Amino acid sequence: MTTQKVSFYNLAWRWHFYAGLFVAPFMVLLALTGIIYLFKPQLDPLMYGDLLKVQSAEHALSADEQLQRAQAAFPQGKISKYLPPATATSSAQFVMHNDGREVTVFVDPYRGTVLGEQDAQYNLQAIARALHGELMIGTTGDRLVELAAGWGVMLVVSGLYLWWPRGKSSAGVLWPRLGSRGRLFWRDLHALVGFWGAAFLLVMLLSGMTWTGFWGKQYADLWNRFPAAMWNSVPQSDQQARVLNTATQQTVPWAMENTPMPMSGDHAEHMNHGAMHAAPAAPAISLQQVVDLATARQVEPGYSITFPTTAEGVFTIAVFADDPRNDATLHVDQYTGKVLADVRWAHYNLVARATETGVMLHEGKMFGWVNQLIVLLICLMILLSAVSGVVIWWKRRPQGGLGVPPLRHDLPRWKTAMGIMLALAIIFPLVGASLIAVWLLDRLVLSRWFGQRGSARA
């Protein structure tokens, strides 16, 4: 092996070490919370069957009658969303703000009985989703998750370079060495899981990053475009549809997040913008009319109806379908019932379609239980890779040292490596900024602090 190859191998190993040190705890958390959310369709009926399931009957109450029953049970509650029964044996759900909490109220659509309530933000699935997306600490958590995902990409790329056979036999490269024990066993396990799972892990990381608050928003602004003419005939507010999505609840599809929210136009003619924005909503159409509209427009069951919050606001009918080809987002004038926008799969461009498909594959929803099992396998591979990496480090770390791979001072300026790092820094700005910070820390502090004491043999 030439000096140049040895040197770059050394550099790749060192950066793989740093990336793994940072990424491993996040990957474990994301894999565990991902598994919980992955099996939401199975877990929810088991845990909340008394709230979700009802006995079907011949006649169902109208949406407005169901609304009255929910409101009567919580007179001070302000209802923000309605989820009509998705099947003949499903309950109706109303999301409302009550006593400073966001709660979901479950109503029997046939008998009008209030089945119970659930904290909309602090139930198992909501907590798993919030941890998965932003660690339950808002914007800071979102940035940390995005940073971990970006470094995860670097981890995969550097790991593939370290795995590359370089004339070795297939044992320990494509399959584990028989009879291996100790650190050698864990090394083979880590390398093989990383190699066989690399493509899947990259798909999971990149599809997940489309939802992040910094990179994901820039990605959407760059690629997720609709013809401007689609919005020319309706008055637009200064808000985007992304305001309907939260860390714990998904309302509109990714493709709709950066589209403008229309305004209830007839009302806009009689009020100035400032006064209208401050005034409360006063819908002139009934909830049942909105439901009938969704039925007439053949919106797939499982959709939600978000209520207007201001005098200029609109009703939003949205379904974030397991099969993105059934996605639908409709904005409805709260005074006239006029459909101001109706956006479907046919309106998505190629990037939006690819992204929506990637998200559904990421969540294990595209192909039913087969998709779930594949994503479960990927999550288990992530856990195994993280655990085996930590075990390898623990077994080879020197007494009293961190075990950082040694820094060679004769490293050549390898153009391809510099190109890869520059590309990652440009594509993922947070990774680029952190890369510079870690490089400075490593160069000025860690390499001097630990010196030879913290080094390990390649």
Quick one: tokens of 116? 């119970």
Global pTM reads 0.81
More confident position, 301 or 6: 301
Q: For the residues of 95-152, what is the DSSP string, one character each? A: EEEETTEEEEEEE-TTT--EEEEEESSSSHHHHHHHHHHHTTSTHHHHHHHHHHHHHH
Q: What is the pLDDT of residue 274?
A: 47
Per DSSP, the three-state class of 376 is helix
318, exposed or middle or buried, with CB in 10 Å at 0-12, 13-18, 19+? buried
pLDDT at residue 151 is higher than 90: no
Q: Nearest to residue 244, comparing CAs of 199, 168, 309? A: 309
Instruction: Assign 453 a pLDDT band (cuts: 50, 70, 90).
Output: very low
Amino acid letter for position 336: T
Q: What is the pLDDT of residue 173?
A: 55
> What gap in Å lies between CA 336 and CA 282, rounded to an integer?
12
pLDDT at residue 372 is higher than 70: yes
pLDDT at residue 229 is higher than 90: no
- Most confident among 162-176, 366-380, 393-407 (mean pLDDT): 366-380
Helix boundaries (H) for 164-286? 182-209, 215-223, 265-268, 273-278
Give pLDDT tens digits for 105-123. 999 999 999 999 999 888 9
> What gap in Å lies between CA 136 and CA 233, rounded to an integer?
39
Quick one: tokens of 137? 């600490």
**C-alpha of 88 from chain center:** 30
> What gap in Å lies between CA 391 and CA 369, rounded to an integer?
33
> What gap in Å lies between CA 107 and CA 383, rounded to an integer?
40
The residue behind tokens 């703000």 is 97
Backbone angles phi, psi at 362, to 5 degrees: -60, -40
Q: What is the mean pLDDT of residues 83-105?
A: 94
Q: What is the mean pLDDT of residues 301-328?
A: 94
Angle at 349 between CA 344 and CA 350, to 5 degrees: 120
Asked if residues 254 and 211 have their Cβ atoms less than 8 Å apart, the reply is yes
Q: What is the mean pLDDT of residues 10-33?
A: 81
Contacts of 295 (CB under 8 A, 6+ apart): none
Count CB neighbours of 55 within 10 A. 9
Asked if residues 109 and 102 have their Cβ atoms less than 8 Å apart, the reply is no
Q: What is the mean pLDDT of residues 261-272?
A: 64
Q: For the residues of 33-61, what is the DSSP string, one character each? A: HHHHHHTHHHHHHHHHHHHHB----S---
pLDDT at residue 320 is higher than 50: yes
pLDDT at residue 163 is higher than 80: no
Lowest mean pLDDT among 151-155, 157-161, 210-214: 157-161
Asked if residues 240 and 259 have their Cβ atoms less than 8 Å apart, the reply is yes
Backbone angles phi, psi at 169, to 5 degrees: -70, 170
Per DSSP, the three-state class of 214 is coil
> What gap in Å lies between CA 389 and CA 385, rounded to an integer?
6
What share of the chain has pLDDT > 90, as a percent? 42
> What gap in Å lies between CA 138 and CA 131, rounded to an integer?
10
> What gap in Å lies between CA 210 and CA 203, rounded to an integer?
11
Residue 155's alpha-carbon distances to 151, 204, 443, in angstroms, are 6, 14, 20
Residue 341 parent element (H or E): strand 339-344
Amino acid letter for position 8: F
Asked if residues 341 and 262 have their Cβ atoms less than 8 Å apart, the reply is yes
> What gap in Å lies between CA 237 and CA 256, rounded to an integer?
15
Contacts of 12 (CB under 8 A, 6+ apart): 158, 161, 162, 417
Q: What is the pLDDT of residue 296?
A: 96
Asked if residues 119 and 130 have their Cβ atoms less than 8 Å apart, the reply is no
Task: Quote the mean pLDDT of the chain.
Answer: 82
pLDDT at residue 416 is higher than 70: no
Instruction: Assign 214 a pLDDT band (cuts: 50, 70, 90).
Output: confident
Backbone angles phi, psi at 456, to 5 degrees: -130, 155
Lowest mean pLDDT among 77-91, 132-146, 291-305, 438-452: 438-452
The percent helix, strand, coil of the chain (3-state, each to 5) is: 55, 15, 30
